Amino acid sequence: MKVRVTETYEDMSDAALALIMDQIRIKPDAVLGLAAGSTPLLLYKKMGEAARDKTIDFSRIRTFNLDEYIGLAPDNPQSYHYFMKKQLFDALGLPPEHTMMPDGMADDIAAECARYGAMIEAAGGIDLLVLGIGSNTHIGFNEPGPAFVPETHVVELSDATRQANSRFFKSVDDTPRWAVSMGIRDIMFAKNILLLASGAGKTEALWKAVCGDITPMAPASILQLHRNVLVLADKAAAARLQRNESEAD
């Protein structure tokens, strides 16, 4: 894993934008994997600005989001569909057929998981996957547990994740308990992975991802086995990694 530490959240977002633009310059019809949540917000804003300023042509990219809550319709402001449309897809002018997301409203959710995984494969896999990390080390909604789940699947969200994500809902009780998430194989088959981490709330999780044991109890640790992972972290998130570096000197 390569780790690049930036001074600020904004620098992290600029560096991520530069990498995404490089990917699209190499392959204008690149398949991007995307996370929702707070960490990529500024990156998405900057992508929207790059589209507006015609710095790069996003029109041919296709995107696959990592996850969606079960039971939230796409027009529900708390759904990831809604979030992605408002924060990124509208600004990029991407048609819905270019922006894939798991359908959390599907009647047959097992069939939906299979369909979503097959679509990623049919697209030739993900060229560049942008991941956030949960403070409990989840990636996508792959929560700590006894085993890695390879394929797109239904997840029961942990109390920690519901607590963290309750900031977008009226209360923890109001926060969905179930979600659909890409699995660890879907993630590990991405050709390149960019893991973003910002803020002191991610310091311990990032340390476990980069330096900890590889274990399903810390799902992000599996990324240590991937060939092309770049961790982009601001100083606060990387604080423990840097402490380790200076201890080693």
CB nearer to ligand F6R: give 57 or 159: 159
Tell whether residue 219 is a contact of ligand F6R (CB under 6 A): no
Dist. CA 69–CA 154, nearest whole Å? 9
**Other CB atoms closer than 10 Å to residue 22's CB: what's the count?**
12
Stretch that binds ligand F6R, among 4-12, 37-45, 49-57, 212-220 (CB under 6 A): 37-45
Dist. CA 91–CA 192, nearest whole Å? 24
Residue 67 falls in the annotated catalytic set = yes
Residue 138 falls in the annotated catalytic set = yes
Tell whether residue 61 is a contact of ligand F6R (CB under 6 A): no
171 DSSP assignment = S
Question: Within 13 A of 87's CA, how many CA atoms are on the CB side?
Answer: 19
Q: Which residues, in sequence order, are CB contacts of 171 under 8 Å at separation 6+?
A: none
Closest distance of CB 239 from ligand F6R, Å: 16
Dist. CA 65–CA 194, nearest whole Å? 14
User: Rule CB under 6 A: which of 109-168 touch ligand F6R?
Assistant: 132-134, 138-140
- Using the rule CB under 6 A, which residue among 6, 23, 30, 37 binds ligand F6R? 37
User: Rule CB under 6 A: which of 65-84 touch ligand F6R?
Assistant: 66-67
Total residues found in the chain within this entry: 249
CB nearer to ligand F6R: give 115 or 168: 168
Stretch that binds ligand F6R, among 35-43, 116-124, 149-157, 217-225 (CB under 6 A): 35-43
Given the residues 67, 103, 127, 234, select the one marked as catalytic: 67
* Tokens 């956030």 sit on residue: 132
- In this structure, are residues 43 and 232 in contact, taking their beta carbons and an 8 Å threshold? no
Dist. CA 39–CA 79, nearest whole Å? 16
Number of residues that bind ligand F6R (CB under 6 A): 13
CB nearer to ligand F6R: give 52 or 86: 86
Contacting positions for ligand F6R (CB under 6 A):
35-39, 66-67, 132-134, 138-140
Catalytic residues, by residue number, are 67, 136, 138, 143
